[in-house]
Amino acid sequence: MKPFDILLLECSPRTDATSTRLVHRLLDALRPRIDGKVRLTERRIGAEPLPPISAAYAESLLLPIAEARERYGAELSLSDELVSELERADLLLIATPVHNFTIPAALKTWIDYVVRREVTFKSTPQGKVDLLRDRPTLVAVTSGGAMFRDPPQQPDFFRPYLHAALGVMGLNSVRFVQTTGLAFSDTPMNTVETAARAWLEEGLQQFTRTLRRETVPS
Ligand SMILES: Cc1cc2nc3c(=O)[nH]c(=O)nc-3n(C[C@H](O)[C@H](O)[C@H](O)COP(=O)(O)O)c2cc1C
């Protein structure tokens, strides 16, 4: 049977990152609730950033896919690899800080590699149509200041942007677990642990129900 595939993106450049701690607490709690074997693909794109997209890759996006492959084949290989990791994932976990009201550049670069015309979405006269199946996506996000407050104290380009960028490929089941105001905490890791425990009590059970294994054998 195909293992249950988890793709984990760690987007902070920091070694002792609060967002990484948060996501691992959630993962530790989710793992025993998943039937069968779990295959974890971990991408530390914050600490080991993906290269910036190349001119060849940008040019290739303007071409029909067959022509793009013929002309730029080898230069699409990183994108192909990242897309296939995403395609096979039954669960996408993203651990990320807020950087200047939105996602860090490292995560934006990953998005630029996976949001691909004729691969993960197609363009139609009516607009963009997704090509990937939906799958549960959990975003563990931490911020130094007062993000995600109502009324807002900082503009939120983070959640609307991620909803749009993941949604264009078909990933619409996106949940956020957020810990904010860490710059005002003397013990940010304790604050993260408290937030993780709160989600485990309030959100874990419901989120676990959304986990479905793809039935394709491998
Ligand atoms: C370049 C940069 C920009 C930041 N911008 C914001 C911001 O707009 N709003 C905010 O609340 N915190 C901001 N922060 C603070 C981080 O979100 C905060 O330190 C977070 O907890 C870091 O997560 P990490 O430990 O996973 O790296 C910024 C930090 C950096 C390094």
Is 201 a member of any domain?
A: yes
Is 218 a member of any domain?
A: no
H/E run at residue 217: none
Question: Quick one: tokens of 60?
Answer: 């290739």
CA distance 216 to 195: 36
In order, the DSSP letters of 105-166 are HHHHHHHHHH--BTTTEEEETTEEEE-SPP--EEEEEE-SS-TT-SS-SS---HHHHHHHHH
Is 216 a member of any domain?
A: no
Average pLDDT of the segment spanning 161-179: 98
Question: Quick one: tokens of 75?
Answer: 């230069």
Question: Quick one: tokens of 14?
Answer: 């920091």
CA distance 160 to 157: 6
Q: Which residues contact 91 (CB under 8 A, 6 or more apart)?
A: 4, 5, 6, 7, 30, 135, 136, 137, 138, 211
The pLDDT value given to residue 155: 97
Is 214 a member of any domain?
A: no
98 in Cβ contact with 22 (< 8 Å): no
Is 70 a member of any domain?
A: yes
Average pLDDT of the segment spanning 141-168: 97
pLDDT band for position 218 (50/70/90)? very low
CA distance 153 to 184: 15
Ligand 1, atom nearest to 13 Cα: 27
Does the bond joining 151 to the residue before it have cis omega, within 30 degrees of 0?
yes
Q: Give the pTM.
A: 0.97
Q: How many domains does the chain have?
A: 1
Question: Quick one: tokens of 112?
Answer: 């630029």
Average pLDDT of the segment spanning 23-43: 96
Q: Which domain holds residue 80?
A: 4-209
The set of protein residues with a Cβ atom below 6 angstroms from ligand 1 is 12, 14, 17-19, 97-101, 142-145, 147, 154, 182
Q: What distances in angstroms separate CA 66 from CA 57, 59, 195, one per listed residue? A: 14, 13, 47
Ligand 1, atom nearest to 18 Cα: 25
Ligand 1, atom nearest to 97 Cα: 23
Ligand 1, atom nearest to 145 Cα: 11
Ligand 1 geometric centre to CA of 140 (Å)? 13
Percent of the chain, pLDDT > 70?
98
162 in Cβ contact with 98 (< 8 Å): no
Is 104 a member of any domain?
A: yes
What CATH number corresponds to the domain at position 19?
3.40.50.360
Average pLDDT of the segment spanning 40-55: 98
**Is 5 strand, coil or helix?**
strand
**Is 211 strand, coil or helix?**
coil
Ligand 1 geometric centre to CA of 194 (Å)? 19
Number of residues that this document lists for the chain? 218
CA distance 118 to 126: 15
Ligand 1 geometric centre to CA of 32 (Å)? 31
Question: Quick one: tokens of 91?
Answer: 């669960």
Using one digit for the tens of pLDDT, what is the confidence trace for 81-92?
A: 999 999 999 999
Ligand 1, atom nearest to 16 Cα: 25
Is 116 a member of any domain?
A: yes
Ligand 1 geometric centre to CA of 27 (Å)? 22
Identify which of 11, 44, 100 to mutate to test ligand 1's pocket (most ligand atoms within 8 A of the CB).
100
Is 215 a member of any domain?
A: no
